[in-house]
Structure 1
C-alpha cells in the first residue's frame, strides 16, 4: 500500500522505521514545524522530520492541517494514513483523503486514557497496567474501533518516559502487523468497550508535587511527570526540581515538606513515607546529586518545601 505517516516526537520514530522497512511505500510524512530548543532557542526539526530526511522521504511540516496540507496529502494518493503522536487533530477533510482512512497507534488500553498524555496519566493515577492500541481514526477523540490491543505492566519504579519508550518500541511491530492485515483484507476492528477516561495534556501545575498527600501518590505523580515536564516543589518561592527520586518505604517519617540527611542519603517528607532524593536541581543551577546539594547548604534544617 501507499502510506502517509504523521508523527512528531521520538516515540513516533520506531513506527516510521518499521513502516519504511516493510513491503509498503511511505509516500509522505507529516510532522509539526521546527521548534526552538535549548538555551539559544535554535529552530530544530522534529525527531520524525530528522528521521524522514535520513530516509529520503517527502516531508510536510505543519502545526495545523488545513486545506493546503490536505491537498498536499491528496496529491500523493495514499491508500492508508498512519498517525503516531503527531500532536494535532485531523479533521474530516484530511480523514477522508486516504482510500482506507487513517489508523492510530495510541499508548493506552482504550477507552481508558484517551487524549494527549495517556502514559503519564496512567502512571500518575497509580495504574499497574497499560498498553498500546491500534485503532481506526475518527473525528471523536480516540474513539474509533480497535484493530489490536496489547497489554504491558507498569513497574513500581518506572517513570512515564521509560514506559513510553518501551511501548513505542513494541508498538511499532504491532502497528506494522495491523497494516499488513489491512492490506491483506484480514483486519477486523472491534468497538471500544469500558469506562472512558481522558488523559489531558500535562501542565506545569501537574508537575508540582503535593507533599501533603501520601507518599505513594506523591511518588506516582513524580514518576508520571518524569522526564517532562519534570517534577518540582517550591523552595523559598522558587522551583526546586527533582530529576530522580524514589519512595523510601522503610525510612523514618518526616514532617511534610521537611528535609533530612541520614546515612549519606537525603529525604523529603510527605504525609506518609518520605522520598529519597537522588538528583536535584536548585533554581538557577545545574542538576546535581542530592547529597552534594545538601553538603553545600548553610542551614539545611530550616528548609521547608511547599
Structure 2
C-alpha cells in the first residue's frame, strides 16, 4: 500500500486521537495545524490544544496560523506537497486551502450524515433519543458538512450513556475510520458518493447557555435524554428556589419513571432520602448535580446539605 503524505488539522482531544492513529499507521504526517495558544483561567495561563501537545511530543511540524488565508501559511502548506489534508474538530476552511492537496481534504464528523450536520452532533443524537449514531468521513466542499461521503460506520447508543461517554466511544471509532479512509484513498478503493437528499435533516447547531435550561413541561423521557445529552458539558440546568433565593442547579445524571397520573409540572418531593421532580407523565430523579457555588456531588450529599425541605421548589417559568 502506498504511504500518503498528510497534513492534519484539529484541536481537541477528539482530534488528537485521530492524529495519533495516523502517526502510528503507514502514512506520513508532514504537518499539523491547530489553533493558537490561548490564555484561560484565573491566572490567564497560556494553554495549548491537545493536538499541539501531541505534535510537540512527537516532533511533528506544527503550524498555528491566526488566519487560514495568510499568504505565508498558505505557502508553507503548498510546500509540504501533501497528498491529503485530514480535518477533525477544526474550524471552517477556505476553498484555496481545502483544494490544495492532490487527492483532496476530508473531514471526520461524529454522525451519520446527512443527519446532525453542525457543531454538536453527539449532544443532539442523545437529546433526540436516537438508538444509533456513527461517524462519517467525507470530502470537504464550500457547504458545511455537505461534501461527498467516503466511509461511514454505525454505533449503537447505550440506553444510559451521556454525551461524554458517547464522545469517547466515537473518538476511538472515528480514529480507526480516519486511517481506514486513508488506506482506501491510497489504494483507490473508495467510491465517494453524494449525501442522500433529505427533506428535513436533523440539525446539530451550536449549543449556547440559553439552550441548556430544562423544560419541565416535557415528558419524563424527553427530560432524561436532554440531561444526558448535555452531560458533562455544557450541563443542563434548572432554577432551584430555596425560600426567597433562586439558585442555578446543574443536573448531570438521573433516572426517570413514567406514571399513569402525575403531580403538577415542577412539583418537588424532597426530603433527606428523596429528590423527585414531577412532570406531566411521571417524574425525574436527579442522581448527580451541582448547586450554584458548590461542587458537583451525588444526590445523597446534596440532600444532606439541607434541613428545611419544605421551602425548596423548582422554578418552571
Scaled to the shorter chain, the TM-score interval is over 0.9
Alpha-carbon separation, structure 2, partners of 1:290 and 1:215: 18
Paired residues of 1:260 and 1:301 also in contact (CA < 8 A):
no
TM-score for the superposition, normalised by structure 2: 0.90
| Superposition CA RMSD, Å | 2.0
- Aligned partner of 1:73 in structure 2 is 77
Structure 2 vs 1, CA of residues 64 and 278 (structure 1 numbering), >3 Å: closer, same or farther? farther
TM-score for the superposition, normalised by structure 1: 0.93
SS at match of 1:151: strand
Paired residues of 2:157 and 2:166 also in contact (CA < 8 A):
yes
- Aligned partner of 2:192 in structure 1 is 189
2:301 to 289, 292, 299: 292
1:49 to 49, 52, 57: 52
- Aligned partner of 2:109 in structure 1 is 106
Alpha-carbon separation, structure 2, partners of 1:61 and 1:249: 51
Once the two structures are superposed, the pairs formed by residues 111-122 of structure 1 within 5 Å of their partners are 111-122=114-125
Alpha-carbon separation, structure 2, partners of 1:7 and 1:251: 49
State the 1:27 CA deviation: 0.8
1:201 to 206, 209, 212: 206
Structure 2 vs 1, CA of residues 181 and 198 (structure 1 numbering), >3 Å: closer, same or farther? same
Paired residues of 1:265 and 1:277 also in contact (CA < 8 A):
no
1:149 to 141, 149, 152: 152
1:234 to 222, 239, 244: 239
SS at match of 1:269: strand
State the aligned residue count.
Answer: 305
Paired residues of 1:259 and 1:301 also in contact (CA < 8 A):
no
Alpha-carbon separation, structure 1, partners of 2:184 and 2:267: 56
Cα deviation digits, residues 53-83 of structure 1 (max 9, x gap)? 1111121224642224333322322110001
Q: Is residue 8 of structure 2 the alignment partner of residue 14 of structure 1?
A: no
SS at match of 1:99: coil
Q: Which runs of 5+ in 1 are unaligned?
A: none
State the 1:95 CA deviation: 0.9
